[in-house]
Amino acid sequence: MIKNVVFDVSGVLLKFNFLGFFDVFNWTPKVKQQISEILFKSEQGENYMEGKISNATFCKALLSSYPKHKDEIKQVFKKELFEQITVPDYNTFELLKELKSSDYNVYILSNMDRKQSVYFRNLFNIDEHINGAVYSYEFDSRGPEEDSFKKPDPRIFKAFLAKFGINPEETLYIDDGKKNIATAKTLGFNTVVFKSSDTTIPQIKSYLQVNSSEVKPLRYVNDSQVGPEKL
């Protein structure tokens, strides 16, 4: 029986908005394409999207690897990149609030540095709607960045379980990262791969209706109608 629901953040509660991000820069289409590939298709970009490296580390790596684009890269990093390329998924946030009001224990487990977590927490006022959270930056003091606890490393999942004393067999873990899902499964979590709010929210609700007989039933609503006005 499911008693706990754990949400990832990036790609689940926050959506990536890559196309709209470039509209603010007065660059040629060719330059936009080049910078897009540098930011989001390079090895450094993949590590950043997965929360494995910080904003500062990402910027430094790009400046070193792509010196001819240093001006554009500096423009991009004038503000926190994470805040520029993500937008709230209010459909998923509404689901999170509904689960909490239906007597589930709701948690966050995410690869985020301190600044990203502050942005996220303030954006949703998330601490009022969850039982607890673990962010990867909390373990950065354990060693160099590449050895700190970040998903899909099983150590961060084990630390999460230990912190809140929950049983993974009674827990549904939701993440858009297949590697993270794979680790969670090996530790006994029930899992759902998040693809989009339109397709995954009904899947989550159906799963919980079958596996959570002791909690209040979930409402079946038109999730596409949920917006920021419901915050």
Phi first, then psi, for residue 117 (nearest 5°) are -65, -40
Q: Which residue has the higher pLDDT, 204 or 226?
A: 204
Contact yes or no for 190/57 (Cβ under 8 A): no
CA distance 210 to 21: 40
Closest CA relative to residue 11, chosen from 92, 126, 81: 92
Q: For strand 86-88 and strand 105-110, is the pairing parallel, antiparallel, or unpaired? A: unpaired
- Residues for the chain: how many in total? 231
Query: Sorting pLDDT into bands at 50, 70 and 90, what band is 229?
Result: very low
Q: Which residue has the higher pLDDT, 94 or 40?
A: 94
What CATH number has the domain bearing residue 131?
3.40.50.1000
Same domain, 159 and 212: yes
Query: Sorting pLDDT into bands at 50, 70 and 90, what band is 213?
Result: low
Same domain, 143 and 186: yes
Same domain, 104 and 10: yes
Closest CA relative to residue 135, chosen from 156, 166, 164, 158: 156
CA distance 95 to 32: 35
Q: For strand 86-88 and strand 14-16, is the pairing parallel, antiparallel, or unpaired? A: antiparallel
Sign of CA dihedral 101, 106, 111, 113: positive
Same domain, 100 and 206: yes
The 10s digit of each residue's pLDDT in 116-138 is 999 999 999 999 999 999 999 89
The 10s digit of each residue's pLDDT in 6-36 is 999 999 999 988 777 888 888 998 998 999 8
Q: Which of 55, 70, 85 corresponds to the end of one domain?
A: 85
Same domain, 130 and 214: yes
| Cα radius of gyration (the chain) | 18
Same domain, 141 and 205: yes
Read out DSSP for the chain? ---EEEE-SBTTTEEE-HHHHGGGS---HHHHHHHHHHHHTSHHHHHHHTTSS-HHHHHHHHHHH-GGGHHHHHHHTTS-HHHHHEEE-HHHHHHHHHHHHTT-EEEEEE---HHHHHHHHHHHTGGGS-SEEEEGGGGGGGS-GGGS--TT-HHHHHHHHHHHT--GGGEEEEES-HHHHHHHHHTT-EEEE---HHHHHHHHHHHHHHH-TTSPPPP---GGG--GGG-
Q: How many domains does the chain have?
A: 2
Same domain, 109 and 220: yes
Same domain, 47 and 116: no
Same domain, 67 and 93: no
Q: Which of 30, 55, 85 corresponds to the end of one domain?
A: 85
Same domain, 53 and 113: no
In this prediction, residues 33-46 reach a mean pLDDT of: 89
Same domain, 106 and 42: no
Same domain, 33 and 138: no
Q: Which of 85, 111, 134 corresponds to the end of one domain?
A: 85
Q: Domain of 59? A: 15-85
